[in-house]
Structure 1
Amino acid sequence: MYAILDIETTGGKYNEEGITEIAIYKFDGHSVIDQFISLINPERPIQPFVANLTGINNQMLRNAPKFYEVAKRIVEITTDCVIVAHNASFDYRILKTEFSRLGFEFERQSLCTVELSKKLIPDQESYSLGKLVRGLGIPLSDRHRANGDALATVKLFKLLLSKDLEKTIITDTVRTETKRQVDDKLLKLIEQAPNATGVYYMHREDGTIIYIGKSKNIKKRLNQHFTNDNRKSKRIQEEVVTVTHEITGSELLALLKESEEIKRNKPRYNRALRKTKFDQALYHFTDDNGYINLTVGKVDSKKNSITTFSNRQQAKSYMHRWTEEYNLCQKLMGLDNGKSNCFNYTIKKCLGACINNESPEEYNIRAQKLIFNSSFQSQDMVIVDRGRDIDEQSIILVENGRFKGIGYFNLNHQIQNIDILRTIITPMTHNRDAQHIIQSYVRQHKKLKIIKLPKND
């Protein structure tokens, strides 16, 4: 099965582009069986030359869905499919980047019709989509629009399949879709694993932990480990003898346990995970006019940050979102470098703090609300998430802005009494990684229950 797609973007710096339009055609090798086409609000401006090329401008996208609103549909239509695109490395990179900003790992196999065309239709004057399909007599309308280009790619791919006499494309696809055989040892380890959220530990023959991971589905994740053929996976497959696990129910608890236990056990094959997972932080300062300004910069252990982000793209995405959510000024959020009022003031979405039309006192109330909601500083709270069983819930305890530990409860009175709460949690280490994990997870899961604890007298 194939997901033939085309993406239009804002342009801009590498990995800072945003999607403006996407078209996906699900293709079974014979005909299209499903499709998804949509404009997307990229939450960032379109480069002028790109707007001229595609005809898509900022005004057209104001009411379009944002990427997170269509992400589920994209996952659904591409599941168990090979991604096919003209210059697939670009489209696939853009999709992975957008999903990464949402904290989701989007992984699919891909095929590039540029590379296939060079192999199966040699000696063409050009392999750009427009010139190639024109030379092959394939109709193309709406060039540089996602739907037009995706439809042309569908027709081109059908032609390539017919020209592939050695059936290389289909053979490779079948090889991808059919998981490679795993030996009896690994197959047994997969069969013993649960379809549950938690942390898993791979052990060598002497019991030494060689890898720690977390997953929302441990069985599925082990299957990926044991069918992968990269160098690290092959070494793990050779050494692993036993896999133990701990079900957490909550993905947040799994993330926290994984981070803590990698630091404690230092498994051989977790070296990459020991590196800091975030490098951007949100800071604030008050300017000469008395307004609170919010800015994103490199993580600095000497400064008190409000919250942290995995990368600058994620940070900018949230800055745009918070500007709307808290009705803040783009200039005071570092999103507009103009000399006069910000763009939002022009369209009556900013109350005029950028030109002193709103008092610092009124503006700062909303800025302080954002800071309070996003910061751990001095906060006492319990984050409640799903448990391991239907009658159980999990908790993360934060006291005085410091992560204290995780636990589970069945009865509500257990989390109303701070002394009982401290008894039922498993103490864990507060550090920047744990704080980042919690803040990032809370940002992405708005329906989480958060209980503010009363301050002790």
Structure 2
Amino acid sequence: MYAIIDIETTGGQFNAEGITEIAIYKFDGVELVDQFISLVNPEIPIQPFVVKLTGINNAMLRTAPKFYEIAKRIIEITQDCIIVAHNASFDYRVLKMEFKRLGYDFMKQTLCTVELSKQLLPDVKTYSLGKLVRSLGIPIADRHRASGDAMATLKLFKLLLSKDLEKTILRTLIKNEIKNGISPKLLDILENLPTTVGIFYIHNEKGEIILIGRSNNIRKKISQYFTADTKIGKRIQNEVFTVTFEETGNELIALLKEREEIIHNKPVLNKVQRKSAFLFGVYLDKDVKGKYQLEVRKIDGRKKDIYLFKNQQEAAFYLHKKNEELTEKIPSDLSLEEYNIQFLAFVKEIEDSFSNIIVSMKGRNISEKSALIMENGAFKGYCFYDLNYQISNPSVLKNIVIQMPNTKDSRNIIKYYLYKKNDCKIIPY
């Protein structure tokens, strides 16, 4: 669990400030599960420049609760949470200071979205909250008020979680759970898993990932592992400490992320899945007369493929369809040279159809969409977006895209999915 916090203060001498407003959003890594927002009577005057900045004045706070009156609620909502804030050292210091005045030692792990942004968004020009979220196309309301800034920080943190390919943030959370001795039983783990599409990570008591998988229903898939009478199932049941997950909104992103995460993390129970699933391809060849043709063969790393498939039957069906298209497009009475020129132009059309596109698909919730980006035939990555502006503006798209390796496998997964499914919109890029 994460507690995304923003605090407004009176300003003034270091370690003598008072809190004037606090907002806390409790976030489980997927959705908001609780929140607390309140003005606070600091019992000391607010500095004039702070009044001008926040709009909060002394008159507004006369009837607001004092810190000791909300302290219990803050402890409850942040229990077993990592504190997340933009410039976390400031918010955490002020919060600890207020609790210290009450004789309570408030100790938490923290994550700073400024530091995380510098690591995961290195090309951004400035890391001040307002300018940073605007460069990402994230709307922000009530700037310099605790609720508005905390909500902007939450949206930023969601993006950073997606961009954290090394899972540094996730590992911090698991270490926190291990330190606190939180080892949920199998039924408790299942209860906290979603029934949506995404990828999942099964961790042992050291926090190590022992298996990565994907499913259109994460809870159902994990339930099958927890009840399986197989060698892998029993090992998971014996070793599992916790299960983390990442909702992807659609199957294509789940396929790409699962493949990349398995290759990158090399979980001990994913040995078979490290191999490519594509076994047959359609290749360009010539007959004995020198006439171009397409043919199906087992994957051949020495030759450039037109399309790859998981089995021979799929490849043969694709070849049949393309031969029908060729018959319609290229006249039969052409000379060999003219035929070959038009044949190569036909093949280039197939290749160019994947060169510069944005694949728009469902997002993780009803107000969100996702996009995969292909540029000059290379896979650049994916992103989640709320506004069309975010993918139509190249500078914003560059900042929000979650980069993934441009491998032959990733390109084949995308092409294969687009061939088999029709649940997406192709936008020229």
For Structure 1 versus Structure 2, the TM-score category normalised by the shorter chain is 0.5 to 0.7
Which residues of 2 match residues 352-367 of structure 1 at below 5 A? 353=332, 356=333, 361=338, 365=342
Matched residue, 2:241: 241
Q: 2-side partners of 1:438 and 1:378: how far apart?
A: 9
Alpha-carbon spacing, 1:422–1:235, altered in 2? closer, same or farther (3 Å): same
Q: Any gaps of 5 or more consecutive residues in structure 1?
A: 1-183, 329-348
Gap change, CA 1:380 and 1:227, over 3 Å in 2: same
Task: Tell me the equivalent position of 1:396.
Answer: 372
Match of 1:37? none
Matched, 1:266 2:266: yes
Moved more, 407-416 or 268-277: 407-416
TM superposition shift of 1:447? 4.5
The answer on whether the counterparts of 2:212 and 2:270 sit within 8 Å (CA) in structure 1 is yes
Whole-angstrom CA distance in 2 between matches of 1:446 and 1:361: 35
Please point out which of 398, 401, 413 is paired with 1:422.
398
CA distance in 2, matches of 1:400, 1:327: 25
- What residue identity is the alignment partner of 1:300? D
Output the CA distance in 2 between the equivalents of 1:371 and 1:231. 48
Letter in 2 for 1:449: K
Pairing partner for 1:405 from 381, 384, 387: 381
Deviation, structure 1 residue 351: 7.9
2:272 matches 1:303: no
Name the CA shift for 1:447/1:240 in 2 (closer, same or farther; >3 Å). closer
- Look up the match of 1:321: 321
TM-score between both structures, scaled by the size of structure 1:
0.49
Quick one: which amino acid aligns to residue 200 of structure 1?
F
Deviation at 1:400, TM superposition (A): 1.3
Given that residues 330 and 339 in structure 2 are in contact (C-alpha distance below 8 angstroms), is that contact kept between their aligned partners in structure 1?
A: no
Query: Structure 2 counterpart of 1:372, which letter?
Result: E
Contact kept, 8 Å, 2:281 with 2:306, in 1: the verdict is yes
1:222-263 Cα offsets, whole Å, 9 max, x none, are 111112211111111111110000001011001111111111
- Aligned length in residues: 246
Cα deviation, 1:341-368, whole Å, max 9, x if unaligned, reads xxxxxxxx89874xx5798757965774
Matches within 5 A, 1:38-437: 185-285=185-285, 291-324=291-324, 326=325, 328=327, 353=332, 356=333, 361=338, 365=342, 368-369=345-346, 372-373=349-350, 375=351, 379-437=355-413
Cα shift readout 1:310-332 (whole Å, capped 9, x = no counterpart): 121221122223334x253xxxx
Task: Kindly indicate whether the alpha-carbon contact (under 8 Å) linking 2:361 and 2:423 is maintained by their aligned counterparts in 1.
Answer: no
2:366 is aligned with what amino acid? Answer: I
Shift of 1:426: 0.7
Q: Distance in 1 between matches of 2:425 and 2:394?
A: 17
Q: What is the distance in 2 between the residues matched to 1:187 and 1:405?
A: 35
Q: What corresponds to 1:54 in structure 2?
A: none
- In structure 1, C-alpha distance between the alignment counterparts of 2:344 and 2:390, rounded to whole Å: 34
State the alpha-carbon separation in 2 of the partners of residues 419 and 289 from structure 1. 51
* Larger radius of gyration between Structure 1 and Structure 2: 2
* Deviation of 1:288 (Å): 7.2
Query: Which amino acid counterpart does residue 320 of structure 1 have in structure 2?
Result: H
SS state of the match for residue 404, structure 1? Answer: strand
Percent identical among aligned pairs is 38
Q: Secondary structure at the match of 1:268?
A: coil
Q: Encode CA deviations 1:422-445: one digit per residue, 9 max, x unaligned.
A: 221111111122112111101011
The Cα shift of 1:188 comes to: 1.8
What whole-Å deviation, never above 9, does each CA across 1:388-445 have from its counterpart, x for those lacking one?
Answer: 1112111111111111111111221222233322221111111122112111101011
User: Does the 8 Å contact 1:291/1:364 carry over to 2?
Assistant: no
Amino acid across the alignment from 1:311: N
Instruction: Specify the SS of the correspondent of 2:185.
Output: helix
Hey, what does 2:151 align to over in structure 1? Answer: none
Aligned residue among 416, 420, 423 for 1:444:
420
Q: Deviation digits for residues 169-220 of structure 1, max 9, x if unmatched?
A: xxxxxxxxxxxxxxx8222221111011111000001100000001111011
* 1:95 corresponds to: none
* Residues 352 and 358 in structure 1, CA contact (< 8 A), matched pair in contact too: no
Shift of 1:294: 0.9
Aligned mates of 1:252, 1:193 — CA distance in 2: 20
Please give the alpha-carbon distance, in whole angstroms, between the structure 2 residues aligned to 1:372 and 1:257: 28
- Alignment gaps of 5+ in structure 2: 1-183
Distance 1:382 1:227, change over 3 A: same
* Contact persistence 1:203–1:242 (CA under 8 A): yes
SS at match of 2:413: helix
Distance 2:206 2:212 in 1: 16
Q: 3-state SS of the aligned residue for 2:233?
A: helix
Name the CA distance, whole Å, in 2 between partners of 1:409 and 1:289. Answer: 52
Q: Which amino acid aligns with 1:301?
A: G
* Cα separation, partners in 2 of 1:358 and 1:192, compared to 1, 3 Å: farther
